[in-house]
Amino acid sequence: MASPKVRLTQPANQGKKITLDTNKIEIYNFQHPIFCFKYLHKDFHLDKCIAEEQVSLINQVIAISKLTWQQLQFANKHGIGSEKIARNAINAGMPEIVTDDVDHFLAFRFHGKAPFVGIRNRFIFHVIYLDRGFTLYKH
């Protein structure tokens, strides 16, 4: 059986222009998160964690990195997913990366239910606080 022939009524390089409105389609949700630890707060830093907590953090970052942002949005907040924390709920100073337009943080869990908290910028997650003592915000 011969394949059907397609006849173009206009040259293939002509036609309507298609533009991508990133406000309507969040293309970064289909990316895997990349983690940045540059802005860790001195009072909620990795050096405040015991070795077991450090290993748990690395294991959780590896697990989260295997999913896309879209998959993480539907994951359990006390499992591999996250929850939103209002900016005004944070009981610590803000690093320079947290601009005035940031109204919430994301919290992922890493050791038991201890959260690591930061902000998302496109597909990059900036880890700012490792809240091992549950003192960063009211839980």
Q: What is the pLDDT of residue 14?
A: 52
What is the reported pLDDT for 21? 52
> Which pTM does this prediction carry?
0.79
Q: Is the pLDDT of residue 11 over 60?
A: no
Q: How far is CA 130 from CA 80, 97, 134, in A?
A: 16, 16, 9
Q: What is the pLDDT of residues 58-112, one digit of tens each?
A: 999 999 999 999 999 999 888 899 999 999 999 999 999 999 999 999 999 999 8
Q: What is the DSSP letter of 13?
A: T
Token pair listed for 53: 């907590």
pLDDT at 2: 52
Spatial separation of the C-alpha atoms in residues 118 and 107, rounded to whole Å? 7
Q: Where are the domains of the chain?
A: 29-130
b vs e for 97-122, b when ≥16 Cβ sit within 10 Å of the residue's Cβ?
Answer: ebeeeeeebbbbbbbeebbbbbbbee
27-65 pLDDT, tens per residue? 888 999 999 999 999 999 999 999 999 999 999 999 999
Amino acid at 62: I
Q: How far is CA 83 from CA 73, 77, 120, in A?
A: 9, 6, 12
What is the percent of the chain where pLDDT is above 70? 82
Cα(46)–Cα(132) distance, integer angstroms: 10
